[in-house]
Amino acid sequence: MASTVEKLLRDNGYYLSDGHYKLVSGRHSNAYVQARISLMDPKINSEFRTISTELIRDQNVSAVAGFTVGGLLLADEIAKYTKLPLVVGYKPMNDVEWLGAENIRVNSKVLLVDDVLTTASQIRTAIRSLEDISNISELLILVAVDRSNGDLKIKFRDDEVRILDCIKIPLSSFNPSECPSCFAGIPTTDLSNPEKDVVSVVLTQPRDKSDFILKGYEKVYKMQRDQKSLDEMKAWKLWMPVLLAGLPMARAKEDSSLIKFVSYLTTIAGEHNIKPRVLSEIIGQLIRLSSIRVESRAIGCSMIVGNIDEIGNILESRARVRMPININHEKLTELVPHFDALLETNYAIVLSNDGKAIDFRRLNFSRSRRYIEGIELVRFVTANSRSIGFVLRRGRSAIAVYNNGRLEAIGELSERSGLWEFSRPMDRIEEIQSILKRNVQELLLTLVEASRELVARGHGALFVVGNVDSLNHTVPKIEIEPQNIKDMTIEDLVELAKLDGAVLITEDGRLLQATVILKNRDEGTFAGQQAGTTHGGSRKETAIRTSIECPNCAVINISQNGAIEIYVHGESWPISESFSGLSR
């Protein structure tokens, strides 16, 4: 019977191999059994329940306990079949608490059920709390899948506990410092927190499994009386058809990254009274649009979503084309001919809080002796209205999100992994700021925005920010008047930085020099890298060496292949990866 279950696991995609997984224990493995999800599958749960009840037939068990999602689903089926009381565990903090413990009779032998056994770290946490229940005199453990090597010793009140398993699938696991996949540079799929992120779990599985996965989580949360999780599931259920239909993704890393990205956007949507579903649909539509070509031309578009009156007060000029009727956040792909005709740096589509497409507007603004245009105006609009901006640049699958006047998040289709990956530049910048111990947040955000514009135009560049007095460099080819970059436009910075040489900026934002060639020291080894041994071109090597020579500086390297990296102390904080085949 065990061989039948293993075949079912393999045939239904629950037995993963040839990967790189971070497990609940923190250890890494090249294979993984999705026991928890398989136990949500009724036909497989039934097989496990049949084996389980046969295993405990003569064990004189008085109650059944479970505390993980998969463990509870199997424990519930065992309890129903054997007509034994069920004790439900949940973890409000670091310890397991139990519902129904009052139903345990004096001197009871309790069956503790879990989905998978690897290092027993979770089981030991549950046992510590079960030891506080005086009516339990003996404990028996049953796991659906034992992937340990069979040498685990688990105790309950100093007595060794017997472990029963439905099926043994011993798999190798490693400390991260000794993991062969880590040494090989293979990215990990993080499975270390399996009880969270229900939607991400659904999206990582084929669509035909979504229904029973949602039902499985809902059943467990009801047993645990977890109303907060039930409310969150109820909210996500409205979005699920959109996510499943609009984002046909297949790999865990992408799905997890996507759902975190969408979840993050919903938190800022509330600030502007924008419906969360509008934002999730816009992301889906932008991902679709990124792959559309018109006569081999890539398309791009800019969108501003929010309070239409406030947006209209800034973007007063209409485009030269009319908005079709009845277009909303679900039908943006119908505007492909318009996006092909209207350059995303010149025009933006305005959508209301509920996702209705209002109009195309020109990205220019002239008032009180101030003139702003292009992507910089998207930043300005979001800084001066309750709105969120989205920009998809033609020629590159990259989505930029603007909020409160700054670049809030980036989504890019990685040519390295083939997945959509999402990040917040602010996270990296805050890390850099903590290392430099200086407030360079807004300054670096502005330079990252200029860097993205340089990439879009196919230019490389180098910005050095901080105490640059100690750096040796050539005489600049162009003498400039010292000025603060907050008084410059993105266009000004781009035109200056695209010229050969580095741009030097103080930590308070004063632009000191441009078009200078940095003269790094020729001798010595820096952070394990000897001169001339770094890879990626002379500009990248200069960026690394400059960040080491000038420990109070952040160096932004923009490669012509599209990579944007910030270097501090020789270490890299990637903002955007390289790409190939950019079409303009």
Please tell me the class of the 2-183 domain: alpha beta
Q: Are the beta carbons of 105 and 77 closer than 8 angstroms? A: no
**361-379 tens-digit pLDDT:** 999 998 877 788 998 899 9
DSSP state of 534: -
pLDDT at 246 over 50: no
3-state secondary structure 347-362: EEEEECCCCEEEEEEE
Q: Residues 271-293, buried b or exposed e (16+ Cβ, 10 A)?
A: ebebbbbbbbbbbbbbbebbeee
**540-582 tens-digit pLDDT:** 889 999 999 888 899 999 988 788 999 999 888 888 876 543 3
C-alpha to C-alpha distance for 411 and 64, rounded to whole angstroms: 46
- Residue 32 in 3-state DSSP? strand
- Output the CA torsion sign for 135, 137, 142, 148: positive
Whose structure tokens read 């809080």? 353
Whose structure tokens read 């998040």? 409
**321-332 tens-digit pLDDT:** 999 999 998 889
Helix axes 252-269 and 276-290, enclosed angle (nearest 10): 140
Q: Is the pTM of this model over 0.75?
A: no
Name the maximum alpha-carbon separation found in the chain: 90
- What's the pLDDT band for 497 if we cut at 50, 70, 90? very high
Structural domain boundaries of the chain?
A: 2-183, 197-259, 268-422, 425-576
Higher pLDDT, 195 or 259: 259
* Cβ atoms within 10 Å of 127's Cβ, excluding its own: 19
Whose structure tokens read 């969120």? 388
Please count the residues of the chain: 584
Average pLDDT over residues 406-429: 82
pLDDT at 360 over 50: yes
**Angle, vertex CA 583, rays to CA 581 and CA 584, nearest 5:** 155
Lowest-pLDDT choice from 40-44, 254-258, 354-358, 379-383: 254-258
Run of H or E residues at 542: helix 538-549
Average pLDDT over residues 124-133: 94
Run of H or E residues at 246: helix 240-246
Token pair of 299 as six digits: 């398309």
pLDDT at 241 over 70: no
**DSSP string for residues in 96-120:** -EEESGGGPPTTEEEEEEEEEESS-
- What's the pLDDT band for 469 if we cut at 50, 70, 90? confident
Chain centre to alpha carbon of residue 56: 42
pLDDT at 206 over 80: no
pLDDT at 253 over 50: no
* Cβ atoms within 10 Å of 415's Cβ, excluding its own: 14
- pLDDT score, position 256: 56
Average pLDDT over residues 441-448: 89
- pLDDT score, position 582: 36
Strand partners, 422: 411
Average pLDDT over residues 449-469: 90
3-state secondary structure 316-376: CCECCCCCCCCCECCCHHHHHHHHHHCCCCCEEEEECCCCEEEEEEECEEEECCEEEECHH
Higher pLDDT, 237 or 287: 287
Average pLDDT over residues 300-318: 95
Higher pLDDT, 420 or 541: 541
- pLDDT score, position 22: 79
pLDDT at 534 over 60: no
- pLDDT score, position 355: 92
Closest residue by Cα to residue 391 from 451, 346, 329? 346
- Topology annotation, domain 268-422: YojJ-like (1 (3.40.1700)
**How far are the Cα atoms of 220, 394, 413 from residue 303, in angstroms, in the given order?**
40, 14, 19
3-state secondary structure 426-487: HHHHHHHHHHHCCCCHHHHHHHHHHHHHHHHCCCCEEEEEECCCCCCECCCCCCCCCEEHHH
Helix axes 210-223 and 227-237, enclosed angle (nearest 10): 160
C-alpha to C-alpha distance for 114 and 67, rounded to whole angstroms: 7
Residue 542: is it exposed, middle or buried by C-beta count within 10 angstroms (0-12/13-18/19+)?
buried
pLDDT at 92 over 90: no
Q: Are the beta carbons of 72 and 223 closer than 8 angstroms? A: yes
Token pair of 147 as six digits: 């992937």
Closest residue by Cα to residue 456 from 410, 422, 517? 410
Q: Are the beta carbons of 375 and 368 closer than 8 angstroms? A: no
**24-56 tens-digit pLDDT:** 677 888 888 888 899 999 999 999 999 999 999
Average pLDDT value for the chain: 85
φ/ψ (deg, to 5) at 523: -115, 160
**137-183 tens-digit pLDDT:** 999 999 999 988 778 899 999 999 999 999 998 888 888 888 888 87
Chain centre to alpha carbon of residue 463: 28
- pLDDT score, position 254: 45
**DSSP string for residues in 115-172:** EEESS-HHHHHHHHHHTT-TTEEEEEEEEEEE-S-S----EETTEEPEEEEEEE----
Asked, colleague to colleague, whether 2-183 and 268-422 share their fold, the answer is no
- What's the pLDDT band for 199 if we cut at 50, 70, 90? low
**Domain spanning 425-576, CATH architecture:** 3-Layer(aba) Sandwich (3.40)
Token pair of 225 as six digits: 């009386």
- pLDDT score, position 247: 43
Lowest-pLDDT choice from 102-106, 154-158, 261-265: 261-265
Percent of the chain clearing pLDDT 70 (strictly above): 88
DSSP state of 224: T
